[in-house]
Structure 1
Amino acid sequence: MIPPKPTPRPDKVSLRQYVKLFRHDLLSAQPQRLYRAWMAEFRTPFFRSYMINQPSLIQTVLKERPDDFPKSQKVSEGLKPLLGESVFLTNGETWKRQRRIIDPAFEGGRLRDTFPAMWAAAESAVARLERNIGQDIEIEEETSHAAADVIFRTLFSIPIEHEIAGRVFSEFRTYQRSAPIVNLGAFLPLPRWFPRFFHKDTKSTATSIRALITGLTEERMAAIEAGTAPDDLATKIMTTVDPETGKPFDTNEMVDQVAIFFLAGHETSASALAWALYLCALFPEWQEKIAQEAQGLEADFAAISRLKISRDVFREALRLYPPVPMMVRETTCPEEFRNREIRQGSQIVISPWHLHRQERLWDNPDGFDPTRWQTENGKQCAREAYVPFSAGARVCTGAGFAMVEGVLMLSMILKHFKLTPVGDPPVPIAHLTVRSRDGINLRIERRI
């Protein structure tokens, strides 16, 4: 049984049709040929885009010359209301300064320090699922709740049940449904002053979320000054100064960063975990293997290294359903890719969705096979064609955090419950991340 995959569009459509398809879902808006092409060109009256699937080109863009290929501002158009000038959207010296302050919070022993909070969130998720024994549930709602709980516990030392945490989570769900993956400014060369015509719910929820985060940030700054702040990620980041300028983040800068931590740490983790649980329900032999492996799981960070089956399954879920389906860079000077001249200002699209299913690279690219990571083909593709967290200088700073969280949650849930798919297969589409068009419905039963 092949895991669900969106139906691609015909090879040739008009620009108007493509924009309409793209705004609805960028995955099904792409043609089938992209699963085999090393590079594909897309032209509009205003700019040109090139999707690259060739590993050597991706190496050039992400690892060898990242400063020559900054993040495209066209992608940021739709995320500005919530993320402001966060590390996810900035480039150049601003981005480098932000990473110098943020990265120490996720280095070395910090993962071990955050593990108790992750464990508490996992236990809370199990307790919530326990109330649904024998019922059909929409698993994306549950994984969203669990991932948000992890973020608030590790970042601000508060559970999702905290009033403000709960309000941020509720508002974000509205934002996620109303915010398109791209804004009008992604297709048209609009001046900065020109309105972007965001949906009213997108603007209002972004304003509300940022106000709530501002309150949490100001409260934490006061606690730091009073010497009463807990030793969590927020405190670590807010007390770190840039080694080059000697300055920390101010309140507005920290609000921007918390917003992206919540988006990246909650939305992407929820997507990955939901698809992993669905795949385990679809292939019950794998959930049995994970359940058996998890029998000895205990609240000890060292136990994570022993969850090898769970890790391989989670990696396979990230391959088939990468939370961020496309990354867009921009050329700062003329380039030549595959004997083709690329103009300055062109968009370079790296699509984990297509790269992870590249027919010329992967054995059984559309199949679910967690054993592939132990094969020569799997090991080579892991090095050259696997970028769920991007790669190079701009690799997600929370990649290690996400892998620990995902593996722990997957093991804890399957240790206690047996999952069975119900209803029609989910249809993957891209909102802010890769989600199911109509949710992912599973029957949950207590594991005996």
Structure 2
Amino acid sequence: MYAAGEAAVARMAANTGVQDIEPETSHAAADVIFRTLFSIPIEDETATAVFEKFRDHQRTQPILNLRAFIPGPRWMPRFFSRATKSTARDIRRLITDLTERRMFEIDAGTAPDDLATKIMSTADPVTGQTFSTQEMVDQVAIFFLAGHETSASALAWTLYLLAMHPEWQDRLAVEAAAVTPDFASVSKLRLSRDVFREGLRLYPPVPMMVRETKCREEMRGRAAPKGAQIVLSPWHLHRHERLWDNPDGFDPTRWGTENGKQCQRVAYIPFSAGPRVCTGAGFAMVEGPLLLSMLVARFRFELTDRVPVPVAHLTLRAKDGIWLKITERD
């Protein structure tokens, strides 16, 4: 993560001025996940190709797929567009190449000790079997999609919020002076963590999600039978005026208040909750504050006259980008 952060700072230093911040946060988050999974930077040829295809793929996706609401067998059509199917095939082909290369390295005893090697070489405790190539491709695709798109969205919107509230940038820059390339220093980023958490509240990367009821429920006088499809909206829950103090305001200090602590337990679901909670939540809460602090320590972010309009693809993005003025700190 630290190496990816340094690379992001170097890229931004070479391209200051007014720019759309979303491509840079996507680049940085993808770099983190590739270094974690395969010990390769985003500049690797295959990694770059996967990143670019995922970017195209997410733009073809609607916020909700009609197929999610229609019960039926697995062979039932899912109504994906031709572009979605095409980019998905390209992504699987590229990830298959990476996976097969790593399997060869594992067999030869030359594989690095990273996440991909651990996943591919760890046997199921019940069956004693390891993942097949296609199963591993599924795992890598999920890790990459969940591990970079959501983080990129959250980081971009948090930088936008900081541009709206420059006094918080200065506070984070002071705190960031303690960051070193070791895991222990990340625990010191308390302000960065609270700011990133507030960014996740106001601009949750997954603004809507679908869940299925396991038993009959009743919500505000309306019955939902067992097996009903329910749309949950973190976006609305996180801004509910009957739950949160100053729900639409940017206030990182709220997490130390009684209201903030209570809402964090019962009304804060940027990573979902329960059995379906995002397995990468802990990873994201290390990555986000770390990258945020490294960027703010080096640069100032200011608003421009272009106001971003949130739109939902696979993750929450801006209709025409998030344009900020970036300058180096003295």
Q: TM over 0.5: same fold? A: yes
Equivalent residue letter for 2:11: R
After superposition, give the CA deviation of every residue in 1:396-416 in whole Å (9 maximum; x if it has no partner): 111111111101100000000
Q: How does 1:126-165 map to 2 (within 5 A)?
A: 126-133=9-16, 135-165=17-47
Shift of 1:192: 4.9
Residue aligning to 2:327: 445
Equivalent residue letter for 1:220: R
Residue aligning to 1:266: 148
For 1:422 and 1:161, how far apart are their aligned partners in 2? 30
CA contact (8 A) 2:102 2:117 kept: yes
> Are 1:216 and 2:98 counterparts?
yes
Residue aligning to 1:125: 8
Residue aligning to 1:281: 163
CA contact (8 A) 2:67 2:79 kept: no
For 1:170 and 1:342, how far apart are their aligned partners in 2? 41
Q: How does 1:17-416 map to 2 (within 5 A)?
A: 118-133=1-16, 135-186=17-68, 192-338=74-220, 340-416=222-298
For 2:50 and 2:112, how far apart are their aligned partners in 1? 21
- Equivalent residue of 2:80, what SS? coil
Equivalent residue letter for 2:267: A
Shift of 1:158: 0.3
Shift of 1:189: 5.6
Equivalent pairs, count: 330
After superposition, give the CA deviation of every residue in 1:185-229 in whole Å (9 maximum; x if it has no partner): 245567654544432221111100100001111111111111111
Residue aligning to 1:418: 300
After superposition, give the CA deviation of every residue in 1:212-250 in whole Å (9 maximum; x if it has no partner): 001111111111111111111111111222222222221
Equivalent residue letter for 1:251: T
Shift of 1:301: 1.2
CA contact (8 A) 2:153 2:315 kept: yes
Query: What value does the CA root-mean-square deviation take over the aligned residues?
Result: 1.6
For 1:189 and 1:380, how far apart are their aligned partners in 2? 36
For 2:129 and 2:117, how far apart are their aligned partners in 1? 15
Shift of 1:340: 4.2
Equivalent residue letter for 1:240: T
After superposition, give the CA deviation of every residue in 1:88-120 in whole Å (9 maximum; x if it has no partner): xxxxxxxxxxxxxxxxxxxxxxxxxxxxxx111
Unpaired runs of at least 5, structure 2: none
For 1:242 and 1:412, how far apart are their aligned partners in 2? 39
For 2:21 and 2:224, how far apart are their aligned partners in 1? 43
Going from structure 1 to structure 2, the CA distance change for 1:261 and 1:440 (only over 3 Å counts) comes to same
Going from structure 1 to structure 2, the CA distance change for 1:239 and 1:356 (only over 3 Å counts) comes to same
- Equivalent residue of 1:404, what SS? helix
Unpaired runs of at least 5, structure 1: 1-117
Equivalent residue letter for 2:319: R
Residue aligning to 1:27: none
For 1:386 and 1:184, how far apart are their aligned partners in 2? 26
For 1:183 and 1:385, how far apart are their aligned partners in 2? 25
For 1:300 and 1:193, how far apart are their aligned partners in 2? 48
CA contact (8 A) 2:69 2:229 kept: no
Identical positions, percent: 69
> Are 1:431 and 2:310 counterparts?
no
For 1:192 and 1:400, how far apart are their aligned partners in 2? 32
Shift of 1:254: 1.0
- Equivalent residue of 2:187, what SS? helix
Going from structure 1 to structure 2, the CA distance change for 1:191 and 1:306 (only over 3 Å counts) comes to closer
Shift of 1:380: 0.8
For 1:240 and 1:186, how far apart are their aligned partners in 2? 32
